[in-house]
Structure 1
Amino acid sequence: MIAWLEPQDPFPPLERALGAGTDAPGLLAASRDLTPQRLLLAYRQGIFPWYSEGQPVLWWSTDPRMVLVPQAFKISATFRKTLRRVLREPEWEIRVDDDFIAVMHACANTWREGQQGTWITPDIVAAYGGLHRQGLAHSVETWYRGERVGGLYGVAIGRMFYGESMFAHRTDASKIALAALCAFLGKHGVAMIDCQQETDHLASLGARPISRADFVAHVRGATQLPAIVPWDFDKSVLARWTQAAES
């Protein structure tokens, strides 16, 4: 039985999350409230929300946990050519926080094979929008000829980044945003991006599973470090990162 949380209740110990032999491995608790304050408490402890419209807020702490080390992001020969074109051609832009809420809506509304509906509910948009206004959630956006064609968003606490969702309306547009994020975070000494759940797609990008204990130990230290200020980006950051990856 998972815990039901009232607004004032703390999260239970992570060890109480449902185990691998259950129908919902990693499920820890449920609640009605979803506030920026509750989200910050969750992320600092290695917990994240994931639920569908009509469900209570479901809180998870998976074991293992999928993470991406920025320097481990896989760049295929074909994608390397794409990045060179992005760096060379002014029609391509990479923007940070141009319109955070628009990126969330795009992630929610972009069709994905095998997926019906979205977990990015109006309450999720409102709560993460609150974090964004506090400077704790950010979007990285790929633009082509003045149109937003891809992007991602997530939460940044100290020197820890928690990836939430991506979208692409043009081939490789979300991967371009992820490459830009890896370059930016690597520049600022961020050693790990939380990818939450293990999937083949994330593995193909270089993500790998680690134990929950190792993940939480890293989070405890990384979230105590100074925040990245300001969040801004220019192509030179990606150019230097790409060159380093080639050497």
Structure 2
Amino acid sequence: MRLPWLQPGDPFPDPARAWDERQPAPGLLAAGGALDVDTLRRAYSNGIFPWFSDDQPILWWSTDPRMVLYTGEFRLHRSLRKTLARLLRDPGFEIRFDHDFARVIRACAGSPRNGQSGTWIVPDMVEAYVNLHRAGYAHSVETWIDGELAGGLYCVAIGRAVFGESMFTRVPDASKLALAALVAWCRQAGVALIDCQQNTSHLASLGAREIARADFVQHLARVTPEETPRWQFLPVYWNALLRMPASE
């Protein structure tokens, strides 16, 4: 199957046309186009995301099945629960939203994923998502300890849809605490699931699972037109997670 080549502003193909397991890159939908705010917003609203290396054109993906984390199924493992309980007694511990988005995404770019020698968060992607943040569609969740940025993540949010992108850590469990904070915020904001894009054992250990792409796209059609909740974290949001049964 020939891969569609997009010009800036072109509509995306139907995600159902993405390459399947019989093709060399399952989930690959199109190449080309641009990384401006409107294009990224249209892409995410339709279950499409960019992922490419420095030596490649812009590549657009829509994986099937799709890995998602239902916020009611998040596993707060016993060890992380103990860390959280300890830090909640520490006045130096704080979760901040959007305090320094650019710093977070650059830290993520400097933290290659397991098994990768480089990063997919190339300079063009950093610039694009900083612009997306300025437009109100990308956010950072940051773990601060004693005035230092210890870890965090960034994500895309449209309406009541949240798309996880990448995380980094400088202190053990700091990125996991940022994810737990995002889940806690989602639960109080009425966000049912967080998109995780692709299956990894780490995500599965936290409760994420695969669903059909068609179901995911239908979910987006329902929730992306809704009003976006306020991106603000309050410590009281932890209560819902701490009331959940502990997971090993």
Which range, TM-score by smaller chain?
A: over 0.9
The 5-angstrom pairing of residues 41-56 of structure 1 reads 41-56=42-57
Q: Is the contact made by 2:81 and 2:242 (CA closer than 8 Å) also made in structure 1?
A: no
Residue matched to 1:244: 243
1:34 shift after superposition: 1.3
State whether residues 71 and 245 of structure 1, in contact with CA within 8 Å, keep that contact through their aligned partners in structure 2.
no
Q: What is the Cα deviation at residue 121 of structure 1?
A: 1.1
In the alignment, what sits opposite 1:167? 168
Q: How does 1:83-98 map to 2 (within 5 A)?
A: 83-98=84-99
| Greater CA drift, 170-179 or 69-78 | 69-78
Aligned residues between the structures: 245
Aligned CA-pair RMSD: 1.2
Instruction: Tell me how far apart the structure 2 counterparts of residues 15 and 112 of structure 1 sit (CA, whole Å).
Output: 28
Q: How far is 1:112 from its partner?
A: 4.1
**Which residue number corresponds to residue 207 of structure 1?**
208
CA distance in 2, matches of 1:137, 1:60: 19
Deviates more, 1:207-216 or 1:5-14: 5-14
Deviation at 1:234, TM superposition (A): 2.2
The separation in 1 between residues aligned to 2:172 and 2:187, in whole angstroms, is 24
- Superposed, which structure 2 residues align to 1:81-160 within 5 Å? 81-160=82-161
Deviation at 1:32, TM superposition (A): 4.5
Which amino acid counterpart does residue 118 of structure 1 have in structure 2? T
Aligned to 2:34: 33
Distance in 1 between residues matched to 2:233 and 2:98, nearest whole Å: 10
Work out whether residues 138 and 153 of structure 1, in 8 Å CA contact, stay in contact via their aligned partners in 2: yes
CA contact (8 A) 1:107 1:165 kept: yes
Query: Which runs of 5 or more structure 2 residues have no equivalent in the other structure?
Result: none
Q: Which residue of 2 aligns with 1:232?
A: 232
Aligned partner letter, 2:144: W
Kept in 1, the 8 Å contact 2:9–2:33? The answer is no
Give the AA of the match of 2:174.
A
Query: Which residue type is aligned with residue 236 of structure 2?
Result: S
Structure 1 residue identity aligned to 2:61: W
Give, in whole Å, the separation in 2 of the partners of 1:68 and 1:111: 22
